[in-house]
Amino acid sequence: MGAIALVSTLAFAPVAAKAEFVNILTGGTSGVYYPLGVAISKLVGEKVPGARPSVQATKASVENLNLIEQGKGEVAFTLADSLADGASGKEEAGFKAPLTKVRALGGIYPNYIQIVASKDSGIRTIADLKGKRLSVGAPKSGTELNARAILGAAGLKYDDLGKVEYLPFAESVELMKNRQLDATLQSSGLGVASIKDLANSVPIVVVEVPAAIIDKIGAPYLKATIPANTYEGQAVDVATAAVPNFLVTRASMKDEDVYAITKAIYDNLPELAAAHSAARSIKIENAMKGSPVAFHPGAEKYFKEKGVTP
């Protein structure tokens, strides 16, 4: 009788919701995308019933967009210019064809173009990079595309440099510590761990990106400032360029799932700010501004409820 009663109870027990895997595509572990991806994973796990989130370290923007297009991720970080290149299928940027399955989830914080040289390299301006050893980020990453744009607008080609290294942030810093590199260009949120590590190890110079260069490139590049004392030894404000970041998702994701993920993120921005200082710049009122691709209907529904419009 006990066995019959147990079977009867189980027969009428509610069926658990099917687990939904949410793979979050980020960037290198020493950048900003990764710790924010971990924080988003935690929020999704806590706030979205049935979600099973995971975090994947990648080469960032371009790889992330191609993985989303291939159905190999649910949420991804990307720079706005990489997203625009993907939407148009710009081959030299790393896209074989226009991306048709990528949708915007929401705008987040801006990436700052941070050119940092060792003090003893003699580099003080972008022009001084000529003949020097520079790391420009992983090949065809968002950072490397930023490097091409900035150097090109300054009248420099890779051939003008003494040596070009295509390395992630942390590896670039290790080479600089060992005097095997003169400078690194890193496109990231302010206070990125890799540059903090470098500045705490050797004297550095944060190199200005003049307004004229930003004007020459145009949108989505914006004028910005790296505030004084962002890094050890940086005593003054430094003018630079910034590029907005976006979270994107797959067009085939269910509206209710994207709505729940979007809500989990933007209802809990203080938790993201606690994970990394760059997230303090995320404002819900800016979440629908400037996307090169259409928003997912699930994200649109959430922002409409919050009074946020494109």
Domains in the chain: ranges and CATH: 19-109+245-305 (3.40.190.10), 111-243 (3.40.190.10)
Amino acid in position 111: N
- 6's enclosing H/E stretch is helix 2-11
**What is the C-alpha separation between 51 and 257, in angstroms, rounded?**
9
Q: What is the DSSP letter of 277?
A: G
- How does strand 222-226 pair with strand 204-207? unpaired
Phi, psi of 29 (to 5 degrees): -70, -15
Going by C-alpha positions, the residue among 242, 252, 122 that lies closest to residue 190 is 242
Check: CB of residue 114 under 8 Å from CB of residue 130.
no
Residue 54 burial by CB count (10 A; 0-12/13-18/19+): exposed, middle or buried? middle
Burial of 269 from C-beta contacts in 10 A (0-12 / 13-18 / 19+): middle
Whose CA is closest to 136, among 182, 107, 108, 172? 172
Residue 104, CA distances (Å) to 135, 188, 271 in order: 30, 20, 22
pLDDT of residue 249: 98
**What pLDDT does residue 5 have?**
42
Amino acid at 170: A
d(CA 4, CA 300): 49
Which ranges of 77-210 would DSSP assign to H, the alpha helix?
Answer: 80-88, 142-153, 169-177, 193-199
Q: Which residues contact 224 (CB under 8 A, 6 or more apart)?
A: 110, 112, 239, 240, 241, 242
Which pLDDT does position 15 carry in this prediction?
30
Distances 206 to 19, 140, 175, 227 between C-alpha atoms, Å: 47, 24, 17, 11
Cite the DSSP H helix spans in 114-192. 142-153, 169-177
What does R_g of the chain's alpha carbons equal in angstroms?
Answer: 21
- At 19 the pLDDT is 57
Residue carrying structure tokens 């307004």 = 211
From CA 141, how far away is CA 145, in angstroms rounded?
A: 6
CA atoms within 13 A on the CB side of 177: 14
Residue 97, CA atoms < 13 Å, CB-side half-sphere: 4
Q: Spell out the per-residue pLDDT of the chain, length 310, in tens.
A: 344 444 333 333 333 334 589 999 999 898 999 999 999 999 999 999 999 999 999 999 999 999 999 999 999 999 999 999 999 999 999 999 999 999 999 999 999 999 999 999 999 999 999 999 999 998 878 899 999 999 999 999 999 999 999 999 999 999 999 999 999 999 999 999 999 999 999 999 999 999 999 999 998 999 999 999 999 999 999 999 999 999 999 999 999 999 999 999 999 999 999 999 999 999 999 999 999 999 999 999 999 999 999 8
